[in-house]
Amino acid sequence: MRKNETILDNIDWSLILLYFILTLLGLFNIYSASFNEDFPSLFSFSQEYGKQIIWIGISMFLGFIVLLLDSDILWKYAYWFYGFCLLLLIAVLFTKEINGAKSWLGFGSMGIQPSEFAKLGTAIAVSAYISTINIKLQSQSSAFYANLIILIPMALILLQPDAGTFVVFTSFLWVFYREGISYDFILGFILRLIPFVDHTRIKVGSNFIPLLVVSAILVVSTLLLSQTTISVFGTQMPGFYGLIFSIGAMMLIGLILVRITVMLRERKKLYYILIVAGIAASALVFAVNGVFDYLKPHQKDRIELFLGLDEDPDGKDYNRNRAMAAVGSGGFFGKGYHEATLASPSQGHVPMQSTDFIFCTLAEEWGFVGGIIVLSLFVVLLFKIIQIAERQRSTFTRTFAYSIACIIFYHVAINIGMTIGLAPVIGIPLPFFSYGGSSLMSFTMMLFVLAKLDSERKNVFR
């Protein structure tokens, strides 16, 4: 730092400006979505819009405290913060259920949602761990521990259960892909379970994108077949067993083809690859079916409705049906601020319209044009975060930047997707727009932590 340089001189204020714009737009959107004629003032603190102002104030205070702190604190105490978040996730499991999940700590409207802060804690821990390993010399154990950091909070969140946040945590897989984390450790673990196989002599390169596509196909196929039955030799069995039989048949055909067409010295390697692939695919099918069976009935209903396995527009699919109607009624230019008819507090047509379905009010009042403008602001924010990530010398800062970019992308894509029928209703907030203190504080701290880390990029090589 130069002699006359202050702490705030190197802050990228364009990032902070984007934060202020999105937060301000979110506040006015909440004001319209939850407007109460008996309390017309924006500063009516008994109403959601008044409470959101308090949360904005607290969030900004925390954000500016972060800017004043030494960024080394984040790196030195990364695992302590991560551990504290895990303790909160454990503590919340002993609370009372609210809306079918144990997700809140506190009393009434003053509660916090630990899973929101767990995203930040996990992002810091993942960044700290990846910055300490040599990616070019990584071992199976280092890749395993990197994935374990995200798997522990995911398991605790699934116990709540909070399917939406669970899905958001899978965004870290893209961060691992960007940083060069290999998934060979999974194949190596499976190979150890196969007798008479010298796993040290087998190198199976992982390609993340094809692996992800195949996994997605298996997941969707399993969900489509989970609630069906098949007859096998006169015995009725769950439908997903047909998928297991198909995997086994394809593996058997593959083994026969290798036997016929491949030279002897190459056969063993391909045999092992096919066996490992078959075991891994079958394990994924069983795992997905097990997770699906564990979900609450209303969560299962949402997945089945999204996949077209059930139709109930005025019952189980009420939320999504009304949300799409509100978005569509806005047309191209919208009806104007405070002029929404379906997504208005007086009409009550759209459930949770100030939280999960906040985009409905925006789309009906400002139409397609307004929706595109807000979506464009999020795209600009994501590109800004990626730009910050790519100019870092520090692996810690770069990894953290990509972590929050992926988290924000998942939130925006899924939240808007579920209001227009392109994603299942899994209940996650739209960043800076949805009412709620935990979400706003978490996203605020993510951006301000990034701004602080970026401000020291010329001095930090970690």
pTM for this structure? 0.82
Q: Where do the DSSP E strands lie in 46-90?
A: none
Question: What phi and psi values does residue 232 have, to the nearest 5 degrees?
Answer: -120, 110
Cis previous bond, 238, omega within 30 = no
Residue 53 three-state SS = helix
What's the pLDDT at 436? Answer: 85
Query: Which residues lie below 8 Å from residue 441, measured CB to CB, with a gap of 6+?
Result: 55, 58, 59, 62, 116, 117
Determine contact, residues 444/20, Cβ cutoff 8 Å: no
Tokens, residue 216: 């997605």
Residue 236 host element (H or E): strand 235-238
Give, rounded to a whole angstrom, the gap between the first and last alpha carbons of the chain: 17
Tokens, residue 458: 């010329």
Tokens, residue 33: 């979505």
What's the pLDDT at 210? Answer: 67
Cα 217–chain centre separation:
19
What's the pLDDT at 201? Answer: 52
Distance of CA 239 to CAs 78, 214, 243, 286, Å? 45, 19, 8, 12
Determine contact, residues 113/160, Cβ cutoff 8 Å: no
Q: What is the largest CA-CA distance in the chain?
A: 84
Q: How many CB atoms lie within 10 A of CB 252?
A: 12
Cα 428–chain centre separation:
9
Residue 230 host element (H or E): strand 229-232
Tokens, residue 63: 């954000």
What's the pLDDT at 204? Answer: 47
Tokens, residue 434: 């949805």
Segments of the chain with pLDDT less than 50: 1, 196, 202, 204-205
What's the pLDDT at 132? Answer: 85
Helix, strand, coil share of the chain (percent; to 5): 65, 5, 30
Tokens, residue 208: 């993340």
Instruction: Give the C-alpha separation, 376 to 388, whole Å.
Output: 18
**Inter-helix orientation angle 184-193/140-158, to 10°:** 90
Instruction: Give the C-alpha separation, 219 to 281, whole Å.
Output: 10
What's the pLDDT at 21? Answer: 94
Determine contact, residues 127/120, Cβ cutoff 8 Å: no
Rounded to the nearest 10°, the torsion over CA 361, 366, 367, 369 is -130
Reported as a single tens digit per residue, the pLDDT across 334-355 is 888 888 888 777 776 777 788 8
What's the pLDDT at 223? Answer: 72
Determine contact, residues 59/440, Cβ cutoff 8 Å: yes
Q: Which amino acid is at 340?
A: A
What's the pLDDT at 2? Answer: 52
Instruction: Give the C-alpha separation, 450 to 389, whole Å.
Output: 9
What's the pLDDT at 5? Answer: 56
DSSP 103: -
Determine contact, residues 227/309, Cβ cutoff 8 Å: yes
**Inter-helix orientation angle 358-390/318-329, to 10°:** 80
Q: How many CB atoms lie within 10 A of CB 264?
A: 7
Among 221, 223, 243, residue whose Cα is nearest residue 232: 243
In order, the DSSP letters of 155-205 are: HHHHTTT-HHHHHHHTTHHHHHHHHT---HHHHHHHHHHSTT--GGG----
Q: What is the 3 state secondary structure string of 246-298?
A: HHHHHHHHHHHHHHHHCCHHHHHHHHHHHHHHHHHHHHHHHHHHHHHHHCCHH
